[in-house]
A = this chain, B = another copy of it.
Amino acid sequence: MVVIEAGARGFLRIMIKRAKGVTISQVADAAGVARSSVSRAFTKPDMLLPETVDRIMKAAEALGYVPNHTARALSTGRHGNVGLIVPDIANPFFPPLIQAAQMEADRSDFCIFLGNTEESPKQEDKLVGRFAGQVEGLVLASSRLSDERIRAHAAQLPLVLINRDIDGIPRVLIDSGSGVRGAVEHLAKLGHRKIVYVSGPQTSWSNKQRRNAIRSAAASAGVAVEIVAASLPSYNSGRNAVDAILSTGATAAVAFDDVTAQGVLAGLAERRVSVPGDFSLIGCDDVLGAVTYPALTSVSNRSREAGRVAVSLLLDLLQSGAIRDVRYVLETHLVVRSTTGAMP
């Protein structure tokens, strides 16, 4: 129905009155049954005579009835939503994760609340609170919260963590260690004797993990390692790190992530250092695919799987009602492309 009325200041306002939800009672009347039967027809049809279900469904269809999600949620306490909170949607690490989470939720007819914390713990706390009332559970990806806050939230509602290792809270971890070890061995085999690790954020769980993996792998391969800090994981900090990298005398580098690696790649090109002729470079996360030139050798990241598994785990927990201390680890591996070659 379209309504045209005079607004407060005299001008015309066009309003479209939207269909006011048909209720279960109207359907019940139309079908000549009790409200509860209509409810059952939609939730537990096997409790009813097939023909009754049929009659109810016909009436419902005719009236355009559609169950009210909110009312059902209030009554059952289950609303069929899960929340997903990430620090930065725009970081290429997350979109595939989000997408996979979404697909997995969809398979069970769940909806996803998405939250972006802008890397701020305060914002993260706020979002958890805002979501808490309307989701059955939450996935926290690369949370920036303290262990205490996370534990506190976990006491309020089912929680699954991604890339955060807290005892007693279900978590899925991407073990970049395995892939990073492969990277170091790959470089050693190519003859490199000294490499540098271009590090990421000091507070990052992944950075710590990668740094340690490189150190130990290099030690056992007899390769020297130097660390060059690139505070932020960004293109610019990678590019700015190039002088420091070259001054170490190393012939190869592993960067905290692909974005940083791409910055390094650009910096090297500007200085006429050819890759992989004069210098070899490896990224992490494999988020750039083969889009750089030369195509970047990188460590696979499996963020897509992490998203899928996390949601799947959460839905399992919701269904079973139990909390299991799950620690799901995803191994990674080296993806060799064109930025690595024999030591010059």
Out of B66, B69, B112, B292, which one reaches A114, CB within 8 Å?
B112
- Residues of B near A14 (CB, < 8 A) are 322-323
Counting CB contacts under 8 A, is A73 at the interface? yes
Of the candidate stretches A38-46, A129-137, A197-205, A245-253, the one touching chain B is A129-137
Out of B18, B70, B96, B265, which one reaches A73, CB within 8 Å?
B70
> Does A134 contact B111, Cβ atoms closer than 8 Å?
yes
Counting CB contacts under 8 A, is A115 at the interface? yes
> Does B18 contact A156, Cβ atoms closer than 8 Å?
yes
- Residues of B near A62 (CB, < 8 A) are none
> Does A235 contact B290, Cβ atoms closer than 8 Å?
yes
Counting CB contacts under 8 A, is A90 at the interface? yes
Of the candidate stretches A50-58, A98-106, A223-231, the one touching chain B is A98-106
In whole Å, how far is A304's beta carbon from the nearest beta carbon of chain B?
A: 9
State how many copies of this chain the complex holds: 2
- Residues of B near A16 (CB, < 8 A) are 155, 323
Counting CB contacts under 8 A, is A262 at the interface? yes
Q: Which residues of A289-309 are within 8 A (CB) of B?
A: 289-293, 295
In whole Å, how far is A86's beta carbon from the nearest beta carbon of chain B?
A: 10
> Does A115 contact B102, Cβ atoms closer than 8 Å?
yes
> Does B113 contact A99, Cβ atoms closer than 8 Å?
no
- Residues of B near A155 (CB, < 8 A) are 16, 18-19
- Residues of B near A13 (CB, < 8 A) are 322
Counting CB contacts under 8 A, is A47 at the interface? no
Out of B69, B90, B116, B130, which one reaches A133, CB within 8 Å?
B69
Among the interface residues A19, A68, A292, which one has the most CB atoms of the partner chain B within 10 A?
Answer: A292
Out of B19, B69, B291, B323, which one reaches A15, CB within 8 Å?
B323
Q: Chain A: interface secondary structure?
A: mixed
Contact flags (1/0) for A76-90 with B, using CB distance below 8 Å? 000101000000111
- Smallest Cβ-Cβ distance to A72: which chain B residue: B133
CA distance A323 to B116 in the complex (A): 29
Among the interface residues A132, A133, A269, which one has the most CB atoms of the partner chain B within 10 A?
Answer: A133
> Does A98 contact B103, Cβ atoms closer than 8 Å?
no
Known: A70-B70, A266-B291. 10 other contacts (CB 8 A): A66-B133, A74-B74, A79-B134, A89-B98, A99-B116, A102-B115, A109-B130, A111-B134, A235-B289, A265-B293
A interface residues with partner B (beta carbon < 8 Å) = 7, 13-16, 18-19, 66-71, 73-74, 79, 81, 88-90, 92, 94-96, 98-99, 102-103, 109, 111-116, 118, 130-134, 155-157, 235, 259, 262-263, 265-266, 269, 289-293, 295, 321-323
Q: List 23 A-B contacts (CB under 8 A).
A: A7-B322, A14-B322, A15-B322, A18-B156, A18-B157, A19-B155, A66-B133, A71-B74, A89-B95, A89-B98, A90-B99, A102-B116, A111-B130, A111-B131, A111-B134, A235-B289, A235-B291, A259-B291, A262-B291, A263-B291, A266-B291, A269-B293, A293-B293
